[in-house]
Amino acid sequence: MTKRILKYKNLITILLLILSQALFLSLLSGCSKNNIINEDKFVKVYADLIIQQDTLNVLNYKTDTVKIKVFKRYNITAEDYKNTIAYYNQDPGKWEKFFDKVTAYVEELKKQNAK
């Protein structure tokens, strides 16, 4: 009888460990997904960062100053930006589509500024 109880106790312990790990991983992935910037906004943030960094030498701004300014403009945090970069790094194919959208967005800005 005690061997039987011990066997079930070990089985229950193993099942609880597996379930707790699964719960932890789902919570972890759920939290990071909530902190990912949606693609349309990320396109604008990324393009703005590139444009601002291109003007750094002219304005004598530091890169961190530019990032803070852009993040504030789009109401995002450095952590949101970092999580979004990590999200895109998981699938390099996402970057290709993303860069196509950034290029199109920058071209649209050029057209608007030419008017």
- 57 and 26 in one domain? no
Distance from C-alpha of 113 to C-alpha of 115, rounded to nearest angstrom: 5
- 100 and 44 in one domain? yes
Q: Per residue of the chain (115 residues), give pLDDT as tens.
A: 565 555 555 556 554 446 455 444 444 444 445 689 999 999 999 999 988 877 766 556 677 788 889 999 999 999 999 999 999 999 989 999 999 999 999 999 888 888 7
Total domain count for the chain? Answer: 2
- 57 and 28 in one domain? no
- 42 and 15 in one domain? no
Q: What angle, rounded to 10 degrees, do the helices at 92-114 and 78-89 form?
A: 120
- 41 and 28 in one domain? no
Segments forming the whole domain that contains residue 4: 1-34
pTM summary value: 0.65
- 4 and 44 in one domain? no
